[in-house]
Homo-oligomer: A and B are copies of this chain.
Amino acid sequence: MVTELMQQGMTAVEEKLESVVASDIQLLEDASLHIVTSGGKRVRPRVVLLAYLAAGGQDLDSVIPMAAAVEMVHTATLVHDDINDHSLTRRGKVTVHARWGRTFALLTGDYLFTKVYELMAPYGVEPNVMIATACTRLVEGETLQAAAAKSGSMDRETYKQIISLKTASLFEASAKLGAWLAGGSPEIVEAMGTYAYNLGLTFQIVDDILDIIGDPEAMGKPVGLDLSQGRGVLSVAQNGGAGDEEGVTAVAELEEPDPIKQMLAGLRNSGAVEIARLQAEETGSRARRALDKIPPSPARDELVNLIEAVLNRDH
C-alpha cells in the first residue's frame, strides 16, 4: 500500500519537476529539462513524502510541490556546482555547463532557484522559513568547502561542518517539511528532522567514499573528482589517526605519474575508507534511533529501509 502510494507520489513529483520549468524562453526550458530529467536518486523528495505519511498525512497530492521544491534546490546547486568544478558529465549525461556554456548554466541554476520559490510560496510562512534556512546553510556549506579546498585547510572538523551544512540541512528540512504539513506535533517534526539530518550525513559520507572506490560507470561520473579538488573523504583520512595520516602523507607526495590515481590507490589502502564507513554506520544508527519517537507504520518502515539503501548504494 505504502509502496504503491509512494510510486504514485514519486511519479507526480517527476511530473511537477518537469511542468514547473516550462518557459517562453526555450533555452531555459531546454536546459532545465535536460538536468531535471536526467534521473538522480530523488532521495530528498522521497524523504518528504515518507515523512508526511509517517506523520499521519492523508493527502499525498498536497505535499507534491513541496517534494519537488527540495529536489529543485538540489538540482539548482548541481548546475552551479558543475560550473565551479568544470564538470563535463553528471548522471551519465553532459552537464548543462558543458552543453550550453557557463553563462546559460549560471542562469539556468538561478532559474531553478526561482522555481523553488514558486513551488514553496503557496505553503505559507513556516515551510518557507524552513526551506530558506536550509538553502542558506547549503550555500554556506558549498562556500566553506570551496574555501577549505582552496586553502588546503580541510580537516575533520571542517569536513563535518561542510557535510552538515551542504547536505544534512536540506535532508533535515525535507523531513520536517513533510511532517509539518501532515500536522505532526513539534516532537514528531523534531524527531523526523533528527532522522533526516543523520540520513543526510550518512548519504554524504557514502557519496565521498564512492568518489574513492566507486565504479565510474555505475556513478555516471568520474571517480576521484572530489579528491582532485581537495574535498571529500580525504579529510577523514588525513585525520584518521597517526597510522593513516602517515600513509596518506606519503601518497600525497607522489606527484608522478598521475597524482590523483596515486592518491586514490593510497587512500584505498590507508584505512580511510573503512574509517569513513564506520562513521556512516554510526550516523545511520542515529537516524534509526530518531525514528523510535515516530509511531510505527509502513511509512516508518520505509524510512528505516531508506537508511539501508543509502548505506548500501553503489552509485
Contacts from A to B (Cβ < 8 Å):
23-25, 27-28, 77, 80, 83-84, 102-104, 106-111, 113-115, 117-118, 120-125, 128-129, 131-133, 135-136, 138-140, 142-144, 146-147
Contact = CB atoms under 8 A, between A and B. Distances in A.
A84 B103 contact: yes
Nearest to A24: B140
Contact of A129 (B115, B122, B138, B142): B122
A131 B117 contact: yes
Given A25-B140, A27-B147, A110-B142, 15 more contacts: A23-B136, A28-B139, A28-B140, A103-B146, A104-B143, A104-B147, A107-B146, A110-B113, A111-B136, A111-B139, A113-B135, A115-B136, A117-B132, A118-B129, A118-B136
B83 A140 contact: no
A107 B28 contact: no
A296 B296 CA distance: 63
Nearest to A73: B114
- How many copies of the polypeptide does the oligomer hold? 2
A136 B25 CA distance: 11
Contact of A107 (B104, B110, B114, B139): B139
12 contacts: A25-B147, A83-B106, A104-B146, A107-B146, A108-B143, A109-B110, A110-B142, A111-B136, A111-B143, A114-B139, A121-B129, A128-B128
Contacts of A25: 140, 143-144, 147
Nearest to A149: B103
Which residue, A24, A106, A122, A132, has most C-beta atoms of chain B within 10 A?
A106
A82 B147 CA distance: 21
Nearest to A110: B139
Contacts of A110: 77, 80, 109, 113, 139, 142
A194 to B, nearest CB: 21
B147 A135 contact: no
